[in-house]
Amino acid sequence: MLKDRASQFWAAMVKGDLKEAYKYYDPFLRARMSPEEFIEKHSAVKYHEATVTDVKVEGNIGTVHVQVKYSVPKTKIRQRELSVPETTTDFEERWLFVYDDWYKEYYLKYFDTGVAFY
């Protein structure tokens, strides 16, 4: 169930459908950030491919391993021009089983924090 859900999320990200991807995030994020804010903050990165390679579940917490190919077209952030060529990377992400389904935890690695406290 988690692998299917994570794969659906990443399919939406590859399509660039951030409005759909937003629905997969934990309810704690969705209570704090509107879909419009989410789209505005997350539209710089373009995902070209994504594959869920492994899933582990421990109670209500799931770890999903993902391989993605992404790029960042030339954009200006805080008066600096930035771009990233097409790049492939692997990473882990955490998913939470809340109420009736799996939701992607919104986590900011740079700040080492999320919005769900458990």
How far is residue 98 CA from its own chain's centroid? 17
Amino acid at site 86? E
**Residue 85 falls within a domain, yes or no?**
yes
CATH number, position 63:
3.10.450.50
Confirm whether 56 is domain-assigned.
yes
Q: In which residue are the tokens 């882990």 written?
A: 92
Q: What does pTM read for this prediction?
A: 0.87
Taking residues 3-12, what's their average pLDDT? 98
Q: Which two tokens mark 38?
A: 């989410």
Q: Which of 20, 16, 29, 45 is nearest to 95 (CA)?
A: 29
Domain count of the fold of the chain: 1
3-state secondary structure of 45: coil
**What are the tens digits of pLDDT across the range 54-96?**
999 999 999 999 999 999 999 887 788 889 999 999 999 999 9
Any domain includes 115: no
Per-residue pLDDT reduced to its tens digit, 10-61: 999 999 999 999 999 999 999 999 999 999 989 989 999 999 999 999 999 9
Within-domain flag for 45: yes
What pLDDT score does 93 carry? 95
Query: Does residue 116 sit within a domain?
Result: no
**Structural domain harbouring 101:** 2-105
Q: Is residue 99 part of a domain?
A: yes
What are the CA-CA distances from residue 62 to residues 55, 95, 98, 101, 105 (Å)?
7, 5, 11, 11, 10
